[in-house]
Amino acid sequence: MRKRCILHYLDEPIVPLNRCAVGDVRHIVRNIVNLTRFILQVDKTAASPLTLAQIRSLRATVLALRAALLQGGCSLGLARAIGRSKWRREKLLILCYHGISLADEHLWSDLYLSPQHFDQRLSALRKIGATVLPLQQALELLRAKALPPQAVAITFDDGAYDFSALAHPLLEAHEVPSTLYLTTYYVEKQLPVFNPLASYLMWKGGGRTIELPMGLGRQLLPESARDERHVALHSELRRVTQALNADEKHSVARVLADRVGVDFDAICAQRLFSLMRPAEIQALNSERVSIQLHTHRHRVPQEQAAFLRELSDNREVIARILGDSSLREHFCYPSGEFRAEFLPWLETAQVKYATTCAPGIANATDHPLVLPRFIDTAGVSQATFEAWVTGLGSIVALNRQPRLQRMHV
Q: What does the pLDDT look like over 263-296, one tens digit per residue?
A: 999 999 999 999 999 999 999 999 999 999 999 9
Residue-level pLDDT at 59: 67
Residue-level pLDDT at 265: 98
Task: State how far the Cα of 169 lies from the Cα of 165, in Å rounded to an integer.
Answer: 7
- Single out the residue of 274, 250, 276, 272 nearest to residue 107, CA to CA: 272
Residue 137 scores a pLDDT above 50 = yes
pLDDT 10s digits, 220-244? 999 999 999 999 999 999 999 999 9
In contact, 105 and 272? CB cutoff 8 Å: yes
Residue-level pLDDT at 383: 87
Residue-level pLDDT at 30: 60
Burial environment of residue 47 by CB neighbours within 10 A (0 to 12, 13 to 18, 19 or more): exposed
SS3 228: helix
Burial environment of residue 287 by CB neighbours within 10 A (0 to 12, 13 to 18, 19 or more): exposed
Q: What is the H or E stretch that residue 357 is in? A: strand 353-359
pLDDT 10s digits, 6-31? 333 333 333 444 444 444 555 555 66
pLDDT 10s digits, 73-88? 555 577 788 888 999 9
Choose the CATH number for 91-188+274-395 among 3.20.20.370, 1.10.357.10, 3.40.50.300, 3.40.50.150: 3.20.20.370
> How far apart, in Å, are the Cα atoms of 272 and each of 45, 167, 224, 244, 370?
46, 14, 19, 21, 31
Q: 325 falls in which pLDDT band (50, 70, 90)?
A: confident
- Lowest mean pLDDT of 36-50, 153-167, 174-188, name the range: 36-50
Residue 340 scores a pLDDT above 90 = yes
Q: Where are the alpha helices (DSSP H) in 271-396?
A: 278-282, 304-322, 342-348, 382-390, 392-395
The whole-number average pLDDT for the span 193-203 is 98
pLDDT 10s digits, 347-384? 999 999 999 999 999 999 999 999 999 999 999 999 88
Task: State how far the Cα of 321 lies from the Cα of 317, in Å rounded to an integer.
Answer: 6
Residue-level pLDDT at 78: 75
**Average of per-residue pLDDT values in the chain:** 86
Residue-level pLDDT at 15: 42
Q: 48 falls in which pLDDT band (50, 70, 90)?
A: low
SS3 260: helix
Domain ranges of the chain: 2-76, 91-188+274-395, 194-270
> How far apart, in Å, are the Cα atoms of 74 and each of 117, 239, 273, 384?
19, 45, 36, 9
Strands (E), 114-239: 131-132, 151-158, 178-182, 209-212, 217-220
User: Other CB atoms closer than 10 Å to residue 41's CB: what's the count?
Assistant: 12
The whole-number average pLDDT for the span 34-41 is 58
In contact, 118 and 97? CB cutoff 8 Å: yes
Residues ≥6 apart with Cβ < 8 Å to 178: 154, 155, 156, 167, 171, 288, 289, 290
Residue-level pLDDT at 371: 97
pLDDT 10s digits, 153-164? 999 999 999 999
